[in-house]
Structure 1
């Protein structure tokens, strides 16, 4: 029986290395997961876009001064105060927007002043209408997004 005990001892002596190796693998995998989770993996590295796909374009924004208008509700004195931010991708559009800002504000005021309170309930339709009206004033590019930073009806 002594030979069998020696074989079992040798087998048990080899297991601490296996345990250490498994712990090391688990530690490396969990460290990689923590790094990816907290630091976003390879977020800072840019790669070439696959064929047929374009890289996202950096968007520019222009915040307009708040606009206050009377609403077209019959028999009621309601006001709308809106602060609007425009979003566009073309750098060359910035000078044109600044140059035509008075036209854009006038267009926004005209459209908003013609609205009744119930017309303002569908925000997406209102945004599309305002975008169409603004883009009709522009020559060198198009505004892609319109966002309300403030929208108060009183």
Structure 2
């Protein structure tokens, strides 16, 4: 037999093995993807976090306030603070109360910020807690859970 015909016979014999190997690789890739999607990766951590303590994921609402500019309480210095605050809460009924009491909430925030010196503003977490406590004292229908500074400029 000529070498050309022998090579064609070997190629025909190896073709089913090659196809089988490719199918095996494809099945392994699909199996890995399915395993990762259902049992591993970020979906597992999200479901574990959601079910921890029988907590149900909450749809958070937000309200961005207009920028607030206040004089700081630094003696002998003319310092200003400009801040833009966003409030985060979970109870949709709180939206109505926040809109109705917006003037009180802004006044409360201004009062707290005006009482601060520049050094007092270094601890952001303490300031956020103080503002949240002051805002929540004005509310009846629910509580604001988060307070975020979108802008915080001292001049």
CA, structure 1 residues 113+51, in 2 after alignment: closer, same or farther (shift >3 Å)? closer
CA, structure 1 residues 55+78, in 2 after alignment: closer, same or farther (shift >3 Å)? same
* Counterpart for residue 4 of structure 2: none
1:21 paired with 2:36, answer no
Separation of aligned partners in 2, 1:122 and 1:23: 60
* Counterpart for residue 140 of structure 1: 141
CA, structure 1 residues 50+18, in 2 after alignment: closer, same or farther (shift >3 Å)? farther
CA, structure 1 residues 54+78, in 2 after alignment: closer, same or farther (shift >3 Å)? same
Separation of aligned partners in 1, 2:103 and 2:64: 14
State the TM-score, normalized to the length of structure 1: 0.76
State the TM-score, normalized to the length of structure 2: 0.75
Number of equivalences: 135
| Runs of 5+ consecutive residues of structure 2 not aligned to the other structure | 1-8
Q: Deviations over 1:91-137 (max 9, x none)?
A: 10000000000000000000000000010001011000000000000
Q: Secondary structure at the match of 1:84?
A: strand
Per-residue deviation, 1:16: 4.6
What is the RMSD of the two structures over their aligned residues, measured on CA atoms?
3.0
| Runs of 5+ consecutive residues of structure 1 not aligned to the other structure | 1-8
* Counterpart for residue 118 of structure 2: 117
Q: Secondary structure at the match of 1:87?
A: strand
Separation of aligned partners in 2, 1:19 and 1:41: 35
Per-residue deviation, 1:55: 2.5
